[in-house]
Amino acid sequence: MSRQTRARSTEAFFGRRRGKRLKPRQAASFALLDRLRLDLSRPAPPDAGTLFADEVDAVRLEIGFGAGENLLAQLERCPRTGFIGVEPFVNGMAKLLTALDGADPGRLRLHDDDATQVLDWLPDASLDGLDLFYPDPWRKKRHFKRRFVNPDNLDRFARVLRPGGRFRFASDWESYVDWALVQCRDHAAFEWLANGADDWGRPWNDWVGTRYEAKAIREGRIPTYLTFQRV
């Protein structure tokens, strides 16, 4: 299947595009998105680091950043890393843009549509890390095909991650955690990094809790944190 065909067939991975009506300040913040949005109509540069105004030593991608809590924290914590954030939900993108308060970070680029479009556009072995935190679990069995972790997308991850690069996954739905483990176990490009039985219950050292995680804990669900390495 060609990249173009695959990109057209993936819009079902996410659900609704809009929530409540945006507040005036949120709506105005989208002027910043015009400056930070990746231009996928042009060929990707051979070096993904050149996508950023500031010089960077590494590039990471977060798929479905929600309100941007983790993305903003990582920008501050990793001053030599460029970040690409993908979020098709308009209200989530608005929260991130509003938090930036008009600032134009030289190490941030954004995409407000299907993440597979970015994955198919980026050059080979261009990412040092890829994060997928609390994606839609698509809990009904008939919807499992809409889960983002699947063989086609793992092929995409494997292509854009450098050898040794890490794919991090967090979820509060046990069935999706089991699903992700099986999918990655069956993919030759990924190795699960777990040294003990409690590894997947302990968040990463740089982890910033999100509102989705807080909601899960309030409702009695237990978060799980998985790390896979590109071999």
Question: Mind telling me the catalytic residues?
Answer: 136
Q: Which two tokens stand for residue 226?
A: 């998985």
Cβ–Cβ under 8 Å, residues 230 and 162: yes
Tally Cβ neighbours within 10 Å of residue 187: 18
Separation between Cα atoms, residue 184 and residue 199, nearest integer Å: 17
Largest separation between any pair of C-alpha atoms in the chain? 49
The Cα–Cα gap between 138 and 118 comes to: 22
Q: How far, rounded to the nearest angstrom, does the alpha carbon of residue 72 sit from its chain's CA centroid?
A: 13
- CA dihedral (124, 133, 147, 189) positive or negative: positive
Whole-angstrom distance, CA of residue 215 vs CA of residue 85 = 22
Pseudo-torsion of CA 224, 96, 144, 138, nearest 10°?
A: 80
Structure tokens at 126: 């261009």
Tokens of 220: 């009695």
Euclidean distance between CA atoms 119 and 48, whole angstroms: 12
- Report the amino acid identity of residue 205: N
